[in-house]
Amino acid sequence: MNKFIKVHETLTRLRYKFELLKEEFIDENILKAYLENIQGVNSVRVNKKAYSIIFNIENIDIKKTIEESLKTLTLEDLLSTNCEDNAVCVSCIKNEKPSLEGVVKAGGALVAERFISNNLAKALLTTTAATPLLIEGTKELFNEGLTSKVLESAAVGISVYRKDYLAANSTNTMLALGEYIEETTVHKSDDLLKELAKPNVKEAWIEKLQDGKKVEVLVKTEKIDVGDIVVVSAGSTIPVDGHIVFGDASVNQVSMTGEAEPIKKQRGDRVISGTVLEEGRLKIWAEHVGANTATQRIKHYIESSLNEKSSVQLKATKLADKLVPVTLGLAGFSYLITKDFERVASILQADYSCALKLATPVAFKSTISKAGHNGIMIKGAKSIESLSNVDTFIFDKTGTLTKGDLEVIEVQSFDEQWTEEEVLNLTASTEEHYFHPVAEAVVKAAKQRGFVHMHHEEVEFIVAHGVKTEVDGKSVIIGSRHFLEDDEKIDFSSHKEKINKSLDEGKTLLYIGFNGKLLGTIALSDKIRDNAKESLLRLRQLGVKHLVMLTGDVDKKAQMVAEELGIDEVFSELLPTDKAAIVKKMMDEGRKVAFVGDGINDAPALISASVGISMSKGADIAKATADVSLLKDDIQAVVEAKELANKTMRLINTNFKATVGVNSAILAGATFGAFSPIVTAVLHNGTTIGLLLNSIKGVKA
């Protein structure tokens, strides 16, 4: 149940502090649209920074319904609002396609007027065709003040007043055609994003016990719980994120990661929702279901990106609004000097607003779409802008710079009564219930040596530390040195020499405690990614000045890795809580920081950084809090995201300069009488359409 506090109440207004707004992944626009659907609610205002929601209501009787909605609201409710098969369905997207009706009416009047000789008939025809534009302009004047639509309708109105019907109809036709092409372009950019959102899998087979027998039952996907065994056959889409517990298969991941070739998957491998099983049959342990699956997170990323405006987008909108009075002022000044209404009509056409306001969001959407098709989910325009400004990249070593696929290279027993195989079997028996890289490596090694399971009691998992259980009434503690030595007070003194020798050789150690004593260690190795060095070099070429690595490893091992990769600064032997503090310190120094990580304990650092980037194998909370989430396990994708961001901002800046430069030239020409209203309309709309097409073409991925 969600927590909330009623702050203020009148007969027609309610204000609440709502705890769910503290969640990073809650989008205030989607929440607003959801709450406005409550019957009796007139409007809703959401202030995420203040965790506040204000309801304007018809009467106080609706209070109980509102509070019940706040109490039971879930992320899944928000994502599924008004959506059935389509993954994107929010108020800011118009589902209907742009209509040609306005172009046909205006164009028809332009052609027909040429064949009519009667002036009254010409006036009636032209006025009828221009009426929708004139009404729209008048409404905007009273509702929003001076806008580009007001100037355009004024230009057409002046031409009708001057009885220049050719100019009025030509201008009206050009405006209608330009608006149609603009709407089509924006609509297409939304469609690009919609392509990323996969249809929901409505039903799935799960394995259940009935009368002591395992049977397969077809259920609605929303009824699947964490821990269910989901059975997927060839040709079906995988409905959950999870791990394979039985079977071998070929899985096509192109829709989620951009990898063209199907990937062979087997027991222990992770699979993600939205991918298609081409051959074979799998039983999958459901780790993430409902709103937490990859496809549902993609929905949320897309919805956020459609609602979110970057500072450069806001700057363009503000500039466009500021330039409207300039255009109007020039028109007024021109009339005072020349008394020429035709020149006034020309000046009013030369408006900056359309290109400035539309080209920027279209460019952002195009990039988000292209990135998504390449397995890079970018949360929105702000994330692109922030990533382009990043000058410092901080990497959490394991799973980012290294593969994260550990291998057991040595087992040591510190007790003569325990063989190395027995120490390994004890550890594997305890760890086999967890799909953690260390646990998977230990279980894999035990199986290769003829795994013999040891019976144990229920296992307790302690985040970022290790696991605890009991065997024959004696405690078993497995995990980090800090966990065993500092937290559990197990004595390491008699084995320090052996431990230090292993650490000096660059080995990662897992420590096993039994009955209050240190039983042994398991040495693991994690290989540096093949393309890590090349990727870091490419980041430098893209303008990154400082590369940092964070790790819990001993300093000697950390320095070896840093030297091999050419990293500038290393922080070693860290506790999970140290990472966010280092990120914050660097940001306080004035750096623009991107943090790349994948663990549960990376979430605070991901939130603290200017841009958080989560790797594909990362924990769910890491992905939820990241600005960029990678769906393919490749550090090169980090470079691709940075490159896309840089190119997008260059494109936007080019469009921005072109808009201001070209429209200023058109405005100057119109002011000095060089362009008629028709020529101005053609030049202005042509420029806007060209810039929009340039934006939707976007940058090369």
Which tens digits make up the pLDDT trace of 266-320?
888 888 887 888 888 999 999 878 766 766 665 555 555 455 555 665 666 666 6
Q: Which residue has the tokens 């460019």?
A: 363
Cα–Cα dist 238/260, whole Å: 17
Give the tens place of pLDDT for each residue, 119-137. 899 999 999 999 998 998 8
Q: Which residue has the tokens 């079997």?
A: 425
CB 235 within 8 A of CB 209: no
Residue 395: pLDDT over 90: yes
CB 355 within 8 A of CB 657: no
Q: Record the tokens describing residue 92, joined without a space.
A: 């800011």
Share of the chain above pLDDT 90, in %: 27
pLDDT of residue 577: 66
Alpha helices in 221-293 (DSSP H): 254-257
More confident residue, 523 or 345: 523
Give the tens place of pLDDT for each residue, 169-213. 887 887 787 677 766 765 665 555 555 454 457 788 999 888 888
- Segment 683-691 shows an average pLDDT of 80
More confident residue, 446 or 656: 446
Query: Could you give the C-alpha distances from 463 to 92, 470, 482, 597, in angstroms and in order?
Result: 40, 18, 13, 16
Cα–Cα dist 216/209, whole Å: 9
- Segment 423-429 shows an average pLDDT of 95
Residue 366: band (very low, low, confident or very high) from pLDDT cuts 50, 70, 90: confident
CB 317 within 8 A of CB 391: no
Give the tens place of pLDDT for each residue, 211-266. 888 888 898 888 888 889 999 988 888 888 889 999 988 887 655 554 556 788 88
- Segment 488-514 shows an average pLDDT of 89
Burial class for 610, CB neighbours closer than 10 Å (0-12, 13-18, 19+) = buried
Three-state DSSP at 86 gives coil
Cα–Cα dist 636/645, whole Å: 14
- Segment 397-411 shows an average pLDDT of 83
Catalytic residue among 228, 241, 321, 396: 396
Query: Could you give the C-alpha distances from 71 to 60, 457, 579, in angstroms and in order?
Result: 18, 38, 34
Burial class for 172, CB neighbours closer than 10 Å (0-12, 13-18, 19+) = buried
Residue 453: pLDDT over 70: yes
Q: Specify which of 145-149, 307-311, 538-542, 606-610 reaches the highest per-range mean pLDDT.
A: 538-542
Residue 468: pLDDT over 60: yes
Q: For residue 528, what is the DSSP state?
A: B
- Segment 361-372 shows an average pLDDT of 81
Cα–Cα dist 439/230, whole Å: 23
pLDDT of residue 86: 31
pLDDT of residue 92: 37
Q: Within 10 Å of residue 563's Cβ, how many Cβ atoms?
A: 10
Which residues, including other chains, have CB under 8 Å from residue 430's CB and lie 6 or more apart?
456, 459, 467, 469, 476, 478
- 67 phi, psi to nearest 5 deg: -65, -35
Give the tens place of pLDDT for each residue, 27-71. 676 788 788 888 899 989 888 878 899 999 988 889 999 999 888
Q: Record the tokens describing residue 547, joined without a space.
A: 């590369």
Residue 631: pLDDT over 50: yes
pLDDT of residue 320: 67
Q: Within 10 Å of residue 123's Cβ, how many Cβ atoms?
A: 16
Q: Record the tokens describing residue 106, joined without a space.
A: 């205006």
- Torsional class of 543: left (φ above 0), alpha (ψ -120 to 50), beta (otherwise): left
- Torsional class of 474: left (φ above 0), alpha (ψ -120 to 50), beta (otherwise): beta
Specify the length of the chain in residues. 701
Cα–Cα dist 140/159, whole Å: 20
- 700 phi, psi to nearest 5 deg: -75, 125
CA-based torsion, 416, 420, 426, 430: positive or negative = positive
Return the closest-CA partner of residue 530 out of 654, 401, 617, 652: 401
**Mode of pairing for the β-strands spanning 270-271 and 392-396:** unpaired
**Mode of pairing for the β-strands spanning 229-233 and 376-378:** unpaired
Give the tens place of pLDDT for each residue, 566-601. 999 999 888 766 888 899 899 999 999 999 987 656
* Terminal-to-terminal C-alpha distance of the chain: 43
Which residues, including other chains, have CB under 8 Å from residue 168's CB and lie 6 or more apart?
126, 130, 156, 159, 160
Rounded to the nearest integer, the mean pLDDT of the chain is 81
pLDDT of residue 607: 76
| 441-464 CB burial, b ≥16 within 10 A, e <16 | bbbbbbeeeebeeeeeeebeeeee
Q: What is the DSSP string of 87-127?
A: S---TTS--SPPPSHHHHHHHHHHHHHTT---HHHHHHHHH
Q: What is the DSSP string of 24-65?
A: TT--HHHHHHHHTTSTTEEEEEEETTTTEEEEEES-GGGHHH
Alpha helices in 258-340 (DSSP H): 294-307, 311-338
Q: Record the tokens describing residue 105, joined without a space.
A: 């009416």
Amino acid at 209: L
pLDDT of residue 258: 44
Q: Record the tokens describing residue 326, joined without a space.
A: 């300039």
- 639 phi, psi to nearest 5 deg: -65, -45
Cα–Cα dist 267/443, whole Å: 12
- Segment 78-107 shows an average pLDDT of 56
CB 593 within 8 A of CB 582: no
321 is catalytic: no
C-alpha neighbours within 13 Å on the C-beta side of residue 298? 30
Share of the chain above pLDDT 70, in %: 82
Q: Which residue has the tokens 């079977």?
A: 247
Cα–Cα dist 136/179, whole Å: 13
CB 170 within 8 A of CB 192: no
CA-based torsion, 79, 84, 90, 93: positive or negative = positive
Cα–Cα dist 597/404, whole Å: 11
More confident residue, 222 or 539: 539
